[in-house]
């Protein structure tokens, strides 16, 4: 890989650490940008990864590392999926195993480099991190500046504004906030802030601001006319005067911008100004997501935000994409909404990834995208339910963690009929520790009145989703994993709502399978013989019917793709008098690897289950 870099990317080969960039001429930095884009397209097309966001921040990242001295100066990325260029410029050029076991993480990683700070990939957190680092540097007299790069929709998150409020309240320290304004997250960025940024970056908005400024200054008499004459014709000066009033000035920030995010000279000039200023500064940078790659630039639906393996020439997938579980949900929620006008759906900036785009096309007024604001989404859902709707909040399982308080206090406490649909529940694999949706069952088990369903296949997903949206006595939750959906498994018997997937005479051991873990459980039981397998479908709270059935066995094994502490198995063990063995995810973060390898390592595949049963 290094030989290839040297041969095909001679400028990139000269960069082993950020300090090396200081020896580049402005013309060379432009050529380096082109090399980096070509490298990213070639490398990510082979492994999959976040292509669009990184193509958009090439010049910005180069400028940051030319102006600031990382790691002495702390650069914090929000969200971390736009840090591939940062990795390249800090000496990490081997992208052959990107997002695979033993390879580079798809996000910043402290284990990889001293230049990385925040490892998790959840948006809207960088400003809080930067606030904390900055405060302690000032208090302790530590050297170095602090820079937070926020964007890709992250300013729609409430945490970002909580942090801005606190940063602005303490002006006795330098801190630079770079707003990477590309108008998108996964989907086009929504909300008033997105509209306001859009207004500032359009000629119409600029002219409107110009007219407002002229009227304001002229109304001030001779001093105002003098000020207007001084600013008139000075584009940068006029913006510096006007835009803080329109946006960040009231918060107390020095504002620089908008800056062309693909002009390295302009970026460096703006960042040097920010670095020299002794108080918090906003640098507003306009970038184009997918810059320099025609398929990504022409993609309005932003399929190139994250890609699998693709043909670099066309951007088409190497193998047809299989959305599996998500596609089944996408079809079923449209059919349910056709029949039930109370159903409305909510997305947190991810309509396409969670399968809500078809519903938004069919019923545009019944899908609300709140941006990266999961807490707001959950409480808003409670309000919609109070007013007569049945909200369906579709979200990645790991992102519901952010709204646990709202789930408890706003939804469950009020018995609000809200359905949560958790995509990518359990082990997701290559996206790493922050994306494994492994906590949802344990968290849900603590929420009074929350009913949780775990479908094992497509047929059960359709059935359980319909039952969930018909339940109006309180909240419900339906969870399923990432990836292709397995074949349907029909029950051989059904007793009081509990499906028997394997039933033999005189079995002493029963496996309680949670969701799609039923497939491995059934194969393992059939390989050994003498073992029953049951699927409760509605897994939480644990029902008396499940306990009654399990009481008839001398040994119970619960298999789930969630953490074992507090999950379904823990609840079953609490209620049963017979021995219960719980197989799931230990209380530790999982390193990136593909889902099958992680299941094997944890003993949750067929081979591991056979060993456990025999033991």
Q: How would residue 230 be classed by pLDDT, with cut points 50, 70 and 90? A: low
E runs forming strands in 52-124: 74-78
How far apart are alpha carbons 87 and 104 in whole angstroms? 9
CA distances 257 to 149, 169, 201, 281, 529, Å, are: 15, 22, 9, 11, 70
**Does position 28 have pLDDT exceeding 50, yes or no?**
yes
The answer to whether residues 416 and 450 touch, using CB atoms and an 8 Å cutoff, is: no
Work out the pLDDT band at 206, boundaries 50, 70, 90: very low
Nearest to 349 by CA among 285, 288, 305, 289: 305
Tens digit of each residue's pLDDT (9 = 90 or more) over 490-505: 999 999 889 999 999 9
**What percent of the chain shows pLDDT beyond 70?**
81
Distances (CA, A) of 154 to 14, 122, 167, 250: 33, 9, 17, 20
User: Does the annotation place 382 within a ligand binding site?
Assistant: no
In whole angstroms, give the CA distance from residue 200 to residue 165: 21
186, 372 contact by CB (below 8 A): no
On whether 434 is known to bind a ligand per the annotation, the reply is no
Distance CA 341, CA 151 (A): 36
CA 156/CA 194 separation, integer angstroms: 8
pLDDT tens by residue, 580-614:
999 999 988 888 888 888 999 999 999 999 998 88
Sign of dihedral through CA atoms 351, 352, 355, 358? Answer: positive
Report pLDDT for 505: 93
118-127, 273-282, 438-447, 540-549: least confidently modelled range:
118-127
Rounded mean pLDDT, 227-236: 50
Residues 560-579 have a mean pLDDT of 94
**Where residue 8 falls among pLDDT bands split at 50, 70, 90?**
confident
| Architecture of the structural domain at 325-479 | 3-Layer(aba) Sandwich (3.40)
Residue 564: predicted pLDDT: 93
pLDDT of 222 above 80: no
Percentage of residues in the chain with pLDDT exceeding 90? 56
Q: Taking residues 103-118, what's their average pLDDT?
A: 88
Break the chain into its structural domains and give their ranges.
2-297, 325-479, 493-614
293 labelled ligand-binding:
yes
* Confidence grade of residue 157 (pLDDT, cut at 50, 70, 90): confident
Q: Looking at residue 237, what is its pLDDT?
A: 47
Question: Token digits for 538?
Answer: 């509605």
Q: Known binder of ligand: residue 153? A: yes
Q: Let me know if the fold of 2-297 is the same as that of 493-614.
A: yes
3-state secondary structure 453-513: ECCCCHHHHHHHHHHHHHCCCCCEEEECCCCCCCCCCCCCEEECCEEEEECCCCCCEEEEE
Q: How confident is the model at residue 202 (pLDDT cuts 50, 70, 90)?
A: very low
Work out the mean pLDDT of the chain and round it to a whole number. Answer: 85
Q: What is the pLDDT of residue 159?
A: 84
3.40.50.970, 3.20.20.70, 3.90.1150.10, 3.40.1710.10: which CATH number matches 2-297?
3.40.50.970
Residue found by looking up tokens 């969930």 in the block: 468
- Mean pLDDT is lowest, of 26-40, 172-186, 504-518, for 172-186
Residue 68 is labelled as binding a ligand: no
As a whole number, mean pLDDT of residues 220-229 equals 58
Residue 530 has pLDDT above 60, yes or no: yes
Reported as a pLDDT band with limits 50, 70 and 90, residue 243 is very low
Any idea which residues carry the catalytic annotation? 289, 374, 402
Which letter does DSSP use for residue 337 in this model?
A: H
Query: The domain 493-614: what is its CATH number?
Result: 3.40.50.920
Which band of pLDDT confidence, cut at 50, 70 and 90, is reported for residue 433? confident
DSSP 591: P
**In the prediction, which pLDDT does 356 show?**
95
> Given a cut of 70, is residue 214 above it in pLDDT?
no
Is pLDDT of 535 > 90?
yes
pLDDT tens, position by position, 332-371:
999 999 999 999 999 998 898 899 999 999 999 999 998 8
| 446-462 pLDDT, tens digit each | 999 999 999 999 999 99
195 is in an annotated binding site: no
Confidence of residue 509 (pLDDT cuts 50, 70, 90): very high
List C-alpha distances in Å: 277 to 171, 253, 285.
11, 11, 18
Contacts of 62 by beta carbon, 8 Å cutoff, 6+ apart: 21, 29, 32, 33, 36, 85, 89, 264
- Report, as an integer, the average pLDDT of 82-106: 87
* Tokens found for residue 587: 């209380």
Question: Is 122 annotated as a binding-site member?
Answer: yes
Q: Residue 152, annotated ligand binder?
A: yes
Residue 506 among known ligand-binding residues:
no
Tokens 């970002």 found at: 160
Query: 597 labelled as ligand-binding?
Result: no
- Comparing 530 with 211, the larger pLDDT belongs to 530
Reported confidence tier of residue 169, pLDDT bands at 50, 70, 90: confident
Strands 254-260 and 280-286: parallel
**Structure confidence by residue, pLDDT tens digits, 277-305:** 999 999 989 888 767 666 665 655 555 66
Confidence of residue 205 (pLDDT cuts 50, 70, 90): very low
Phi-psi region of 386 (alpha: psi -120 to 50; beta: other; left: phi over 0): alpha
Q: Which of 7-16, 212-221, 556-565 has the highest mean pLDDT?
A: 556-565
């Amino acid at each position: 890989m290094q030989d290839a870099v040297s041969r095909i990317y001679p400028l990139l080969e000269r960069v082993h650490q950020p300090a090396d960039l200081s020896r580049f001429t402005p013309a060379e930095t432009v050529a380096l940008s082109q090399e980096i884009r070509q490298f990213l397209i070639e490398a990510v097309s082979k492994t999959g990864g976040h292509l669009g966001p990184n193509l958009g921040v090439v010049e910005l990242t180069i400028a940051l590392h030319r102006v600031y001295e990382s790691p002495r100066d702390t650069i914090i990325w929000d969200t971390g999926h736009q840090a591939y260029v940062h990795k390249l410029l800090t000496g990490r050029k081997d992208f052959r195993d990107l997002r695979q076991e033993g390879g580079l993480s798809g996000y910043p990683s402290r284990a990889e480099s001293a230049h990385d700070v925040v490892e998790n990939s959840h948006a809207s957190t960088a400003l809080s991190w930067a606030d904390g680092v900055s405060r302690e540097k000032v208090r302790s007299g530590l050297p170095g500046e602090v820079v937070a790069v926020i964007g890709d929709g992250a300013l729609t998150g409430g945490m970002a504004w909580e942090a801005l409020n606190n940063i602005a309240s303490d002006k006795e320290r330098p801190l630079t906030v770079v707003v990477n304004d590309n108008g998108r997250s996964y989907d086009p960025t929504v909300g008033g802030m997105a509209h306001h940024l859009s207004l500032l970056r359009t000629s119409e908005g600029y002219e409107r601001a110009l007219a407002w400024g002229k009227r304001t200054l002229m109304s001030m008499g001779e001093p105002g006319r003098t000020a207007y004459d001084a600013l008139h014709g000075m584009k940068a000066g006029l913006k510096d005067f006007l835009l803080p009033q329109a946006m960040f000035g009231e918060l107390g920030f020095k504002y620089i911008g908008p800056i062309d995010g693909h002009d390295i000279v302009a970026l460096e000039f703006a960042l040097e100004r920010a670095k020299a200023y002794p108080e918090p500064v906003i640098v507003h940078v306009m970038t184009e997501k997918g810059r320099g790659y025609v398929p990504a630039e022409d993609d309005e639906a932003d399929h190139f935000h994250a890609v699998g393996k693709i043909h670099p020439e066309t951007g088409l997938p190497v193998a047809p994409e299989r959305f599996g579980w998500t596609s089944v949900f996408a079809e079923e929620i449209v059919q349910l909404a056709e029949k039930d006008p109370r159903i409305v759906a909510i997305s947190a900036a991810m309509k396409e990834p969670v399968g809500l785009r078809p519903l938004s096309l069919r019923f545009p007024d019944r899908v609300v995208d709140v941006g990266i604001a999961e807490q707001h989404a959950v409480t808003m859902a409670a309000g919609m339910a109070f007013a007569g709707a049945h909200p369906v909040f579709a979200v990645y399982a790991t992102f519901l963690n952010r709204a646990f308080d709202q789930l408890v206090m706003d939804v469950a406490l009020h018995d609000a009929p809200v359905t949560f649909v958790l995509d990518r529940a359990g082990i997701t694999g290559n996206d790493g520790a922050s994306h494994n949706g492994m906590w949802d069952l344990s968290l849900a088990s603590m929420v009074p009145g929350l009913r949780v369903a775990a479908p094992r296949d497509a047929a059960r997903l359709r059935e359980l989703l319909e039952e969930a949206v018909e339940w109006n006595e309180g909240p419900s939750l339906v969870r399923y994993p990432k990836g292709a959906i397995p074949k349907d498994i029909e029950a051989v018997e059904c007793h009081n709502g509990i499906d028997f997937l394997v039933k033999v005479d005189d079995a002493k051991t029963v496996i309680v399978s949670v969701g799609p873990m039923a497939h491995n459980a059934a194969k393992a039981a059939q390989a050994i013989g003498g073992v029953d397998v049951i699927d409760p479908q509605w897994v939480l709270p644990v029902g008396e019917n499940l306990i009654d059935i399990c009481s008839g066995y001398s040994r119970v094994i619960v298999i789930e793709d969630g953490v074992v502490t507090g999950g379904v198995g823990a609840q079953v063990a609490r209620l049963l008098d017979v021995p219960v063995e719980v197989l799931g995810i230990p209380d530790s973060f999982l390193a990136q690897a593909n889902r099958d390898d992680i299941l094997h390592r944890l003993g949750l595949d067929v081979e591991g289950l056979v060993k456990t049963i025999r033991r």
